[in-house]
Structure 1
């Protein structure tokens, strides 16, 4: 029996309206249940009815609306065909000539479902028809029509048309207070910036959209943001965002979106070198899309799976056939970027299969590199082309492809104002850097190898510093973070407060995550300096009577390019794994020795072990080099960047500088001019001799300023760093390996984080950190170091003295007194540190990073 009572119609309208809200908020399962209840009141039939019911006009039109809305829920939950079946039921009930306001809705939903099913051309036809009828649509539907067509233009790469549609959609939504629709349009404008390669702007636009108070599931927003983070090089942060999105999609039974998450996670795993996980995730995503007959996404999953199979070493002949077939599918769908990528995968596979001629022909069919392609796609193209050239022994073209690719990588990193993102972006060039170095190494010319090392190492040090704009939200978050850190510190050792401590740790992690995300929205200068050539590095070394040792890794073996006494050569060192283990032992022993409460016998035993380990490292790293007794610049790789070089036996009393790259050393060793240095010393709390140490610095330097006790504040240190020439900090420090931008110096009013220094445009030329472990850094691809010392160097400090392990307070105070006494007599930073460390009663893990600095000079 068909119920047509006014109460039933009214209730059906309410159910329909509520279902639409759930659909728009990303909850199709809840929406579908409400739509079916509404249909039972006005239609009396399930969607598979074979004949039209005899209903009133009011009920019939309401049923049309409900079926149109149900189509969206069905397509999200069960695939395209159930959605189209619901639309067919709506069309059977609709008199198109009399009700254009419903026809426009029908066209909108047809377009949406076709696009979601991967039928882009059909979808565009329906959406174009809807736009022609947009005058008959309500504001909410007009906004959705433009939103959907704009999203389709995004996928097809027509960013100009996408921007026009999405901007119109956002404007309509804002004018009519449609917060959900405005959120979607503005979020998609952020995704547009992502596709345009403006990643910092994309993150900022997405964050602005998320700030809109809209009752909507954030699953899709998290998925899209993860794609931006992945392209920025933050693959682990991207994976975290994807896991959060997956939980939302699983709860709402959005299986197609869950497949998209798996696919994106496969890409994260590939970037992290986890090929087994990448294959598993990509295969699962492909199978989901196959079951739903979603060809658009099935093709994308096949492409990622091919990448993973290639990385896993699968037979090239089989992969090439699959890749070429997939490339043809992409071309037939008008998706030329994806077709080009599949073509290049086929070329790589053919090269592996020993068919270089065919591989070159297949790669040539892929077409030229386009500036609009993501950096990952551009670098992949350069990589494949270079490998093909090397296979044909065309070294010149190979070098040009590599050099061009690494220049593109540098410009990619330069688009970010955040040091965090600048260093993270290097991961996209890892394979290209390895190929460049391997190619140079095979031909055995030391200067060619050094040039290859310089092209791919510490690119972020060649980028200009960017001062972030004042941000009250950031200031508030930092204040909260300081409060949370201090609160956690107060209860960390209280066994009875473990639950509260866990809560505070979560709060600290959340605040750090939010602050990092805000920093990622800062745009850079979009230009990177070129690596220095030997014609500049060589003369500078000779003029300074300085030798250079630049370490590098090829296939798990450690080597060094050595320039000494006017000659360059390549020296094999050892297996990298063995050296890493030796460094780990040295650092562990130094941390133990820093404990002033060890029993004498144990302290003596640890000291003896440390001496033996230092001697072994000295023999491994320096013994084969045959260095003259001269000044030394060391350019480390990986874990060597945090080695206490000044404690190696053959380097005792020798001026040694550790630099991110030879290019960075040269820049920091630039022309100087006479100047009377402005010296500031700041003492932190709970360090027994910090005030004494700062006071000694104050006495040794004329007119030095000393901030101790209650005056040793964050504001005092920040002011000193931005205005003084020399800044000495006697305070506790902590390096955070997992979150290095929140490495900190503890002052009387709380910690000062490395993150805060990234907001500066200038820092003092010479900084001395008389604190534990602030010379440590977290290493990323491309030997990109991230920690407090690396931030100071990146922002313009010429020379930073800091420790790479823990150090006892008494030892630090004695070393620093000797150090500044030497500097006050005219020694430069490397000379004075060498003397001070050599005179220390126990090994002191202080290193001179960057370049040397001498009193009476400053950079021009």
Structure 2
């Protein structure tokens, strides 16, 4: 592979031991995947033509994970053998980094069948991270001392964390409020001196959030509704607790966020479809997560489809039990997803399917 840095151009991102970086491309007649590892770079031709892959990914994006989990599983099984050919990943690989562009960004790679062992999902054999490019991002610099250990916000109504009220009439997101309180207790239990800020009511405005972001927070957690705008990605939004003088809800858009400047180790968007964007195949990383990465987040956890309020709370708390225990965000997410994929005694198949869909909705994104 040529070395761009030798010519003063952008340099390739580092490949960690055991890591494989994947980048997909659709040509006029064929589709390809580039796989970079410590052993070098190889290119594989995918088994379906570009038009067929576009149809499969469009079908997947159009499915309702809550109403039709079985169809999601069937589509995932078909896509797995196309996007992850049997010999694509080296035997000694332990993690996969996927360039998340357009349609590819909508694929739940954690849930794909592992080419090493099709009986297992990829997340059961590899850690999975979604990245913006095969090129190295700008250096983030040393970790600053931030005034806040945790900034968290809860808002919204309904049983699903979707900002479409006509589809989800119901009570307020009671689990969202208890979620941020439970998360705060986990951080406080690890460090009684940790400075924690929970936003509620009119205090939870876009301006107050921006001030907290500019000051600096190790972790910023949103337990609220999200709405993805597939035509105008910068209009994708999160619902805030603050209301207007007329009692109407207020919002935080991706366009507002990407103009922020700050530094956070992790942003967790515990909201419906916070990672989706326009279906263009090569349009860059879509979704609200991209805006937070541009604003200075070092990593973002976001979701690919609607998630239930109560299950979202349980999943978040399980994640933070690991994270506050000293594990990285990636490892904490991997372990939580693996735990939620396992069958448990006394749990019905229907409930297990709901837990599985919740786990696979989440992904970790970084520059």
TM over 0.5: yes
C-alpha offsets along residues 402-421 of structure 1, whole Å, 9 cap, x if unaligned?
xxxxxxxxxxxxxxxxxxxx
Go from structure 1 to structure 2 and tell me whether the alpha carbon gap of 1:626 and 1:572 turns closer, same or farther (over 3 Å shift). Answer: same
SS at match of 2:333: helix
- Which residue, out of 655, 658, 661, partners 2:133? 661
What corresponds to 1:649 in structure 2?
113
Q: Distance in 2 between matches of 1:674 and 1:655?
A: 27
- Which residue, out of 335, 338, 347, partners 1:835? 335
- Can you give the 5+ residue segments of structure 1 that lack an aligned partner in the other structure? 1-446, 452-528, 594-602, 852-860
1:552 corresponds to 2:25: yes
Deviation at 1:765, TM superposition (A): 3.5
Go from structure 1 to structure 2 and tell me whether the alpha carbon gap of 1:761 and 1:712 turns closer, same or farther (over 3 Å shift). Answer: closer
Where do residues 76-225 of structure 1 align in structure 2 (5 Å cutoff)? none
Go from structure 1 to structure 2 and tell me whether the alpha carbon gap of 1:762 and 1:556 turns closer, same or farther (over 3 Å shift). Answer: farther
Larger Rg: 1
- Can you give the 5+ residue segments of structure 2 that lack an aligned partner in the other structure? 115-121, 158-172, 189-193, 244-249, 341-354
Say if 2:27 and 2:50, in contact at 8 Å, map to a contact too: no
Q: Distance in 2 between matches of 1:744 and 1:813?
A: 20
Deviation at 1:783, TM superposition (A): 3.0
Say if 2:222 and 2:270, in contact at 8 Å, map to a contact too: yes
Deviation at 1:642, TM superposition (A): 2.0
What corresponds to 1:581 in structure 2?
55
What corresponds to 2:206 in structure 1?
714
Deviation at 1:839, TM superposition (A): 3.2
Q: Distance in 2 between matches of 1:813 and 1:631?
A: 27
Go from structure 1 to structure 2 and tell me whether the alpha carbon gap of 1:671 and 1:547 turns closer, same or farther (over 3 Å shift). Answer: farther
Where do residues 203-602 of structure 1 align in structure 2 (5 Å cutoff)? 447=1, 530-533=9-12, 537=13, 540-542=14-16, 544-573=17-46, 574-589=48-63, 591-593=64-66
Go from structure 1 to structure 2 and tell me whether the alpha carbon gap of 1:611 and 1:771 turns closer, same or farther (over 3 Å shift). Answer: same
Deviation at 1:730, TM superposition (A): 0.5
- Which residue, out of 215, 230, 235, partners 1:742? 235
SS at match of 2:222: strand
SS at match of 1:610: helix
1:685 corresponds to 2:178: no
Q: How many residues align?
A: 308
Deviation at 1:572, TM superposition (A): 1.1
Say if 1:684 and 1:712, in contact at 8 Å, map to a contact too: no
TM-score of the aligned structures, taking structure 1 as reference length = 0.34
Say if 1:837 and 1:843, in contact at 8 Å, map to a contact too: no
Say if 1:774 and 1:787, in contact at 8 Å, map to a contact too: yes
Go from structure 1 to structure 2 and tell me whether the alpha carbon gap of 1:743 and 1:530 turns closer, same or farther (over 3 Å shift). Answer: farther
Say if 1:691 and 1:709, in contact at 8 Å, map to a contact too: no
Say if 1:552 and 1:637, in contact at 8 Å, map to a contact too: no
Deviation at 1:751, TM superposition (A): 1.0
1:848 corresponds to 2:364: yes
What corresponds to 2:255 in structure 1?
755
C-alpha offsets along residues 331-387 of structure 1, whole Å, 9 cap, x if unaligned?
xxxxxxxxxxxxxxxxxxxxxxxxxxxxxxxxxxxxxxxxxxxxxxxxxxxxxxxxx
Q: Distance in 1 between matches of 2:56 and 2:213?
A: 35
RMSD: 2.7
What corresponds to 1:616 in structure 2?
78
- Which residue, out of 754, 772, 788, partners 2:288? 788
Deviation at 1:777, TM superposition (A): 2.0
Q: Distance in 2 between matches of 1:798 and 1:804?
A: 20
Deviation at 1:780, TM superposition (A): 5.9
Q: Distance in 2 between matches of 1:693 and 1:661?
A: 33
What corresponds to 2:167 in structure 1?
none
Go from structure 1 to structure 2 and tell me whether the alpha carbon gap of 1:744 and 1:556 turns closer, same or farther (over 3 Å shift). Answer: farther
Say if 2:102 and 2:286, in contact at 8 Å, map to a contact too: no
Deviation at 1:541, TM superposition (A): 1.2
- Which residue, out of 183, 187, 210, partners 1:701? 187
Q: Which has the higher strand share?
A: 2
SS at match of 2:317: helix
Q: Which has the higher helix share?
A: 1
Go from structure 1 to structure 2 and tell me whether the alpha carbon gap of 1:638 and 1:674 turns closer, same or farther (over 3 Å shift). Answer: closer
What corresponds to 2:99 in structure 1?
635
- Which residue, out of 89, 97, 103, partners 1:626? 89
Deviation at 1:611, TM superposition (A): 1.5
Q: Distance in 2 between matches of 1:688 and 1:556?
A: 50
Go from structure 1 to structure 2 and tell me whether the alpha carbon gap of 1:718 and 1:743 turns closer, same or farther (over 3 Å shift). Answer: same
- Which residue, out of 278, 284, 291, partners 1:778? 278
SS at match of 2:15: helix
Say if 1:683 and 1:694, in contact at 8 Å, map to a contact too: yes
C-alpha offsets along residues 453-507 of structure 1, whole Å, 9 cap, x if unaligned?
xxxxxxxxxxxxxxxxxxxxxxxxxxxxxxxxxxxxxxxxxxxxxxxxxxxxxxx
TM-score of the aligned structures, taking structure 2 as reference length = 0.75
C-alpha offsets along residues 5-38 of structure 1, whole Å, 9 cap, x if unaligned?
xxxxxxxxxxxxxxxxxxxxxxxxxxxxxxxxxx
Say if 2:81 and 2:113, in contact at 8 Å, map to a contact too: no
What corresponds to 1:812 in structure 2?
312
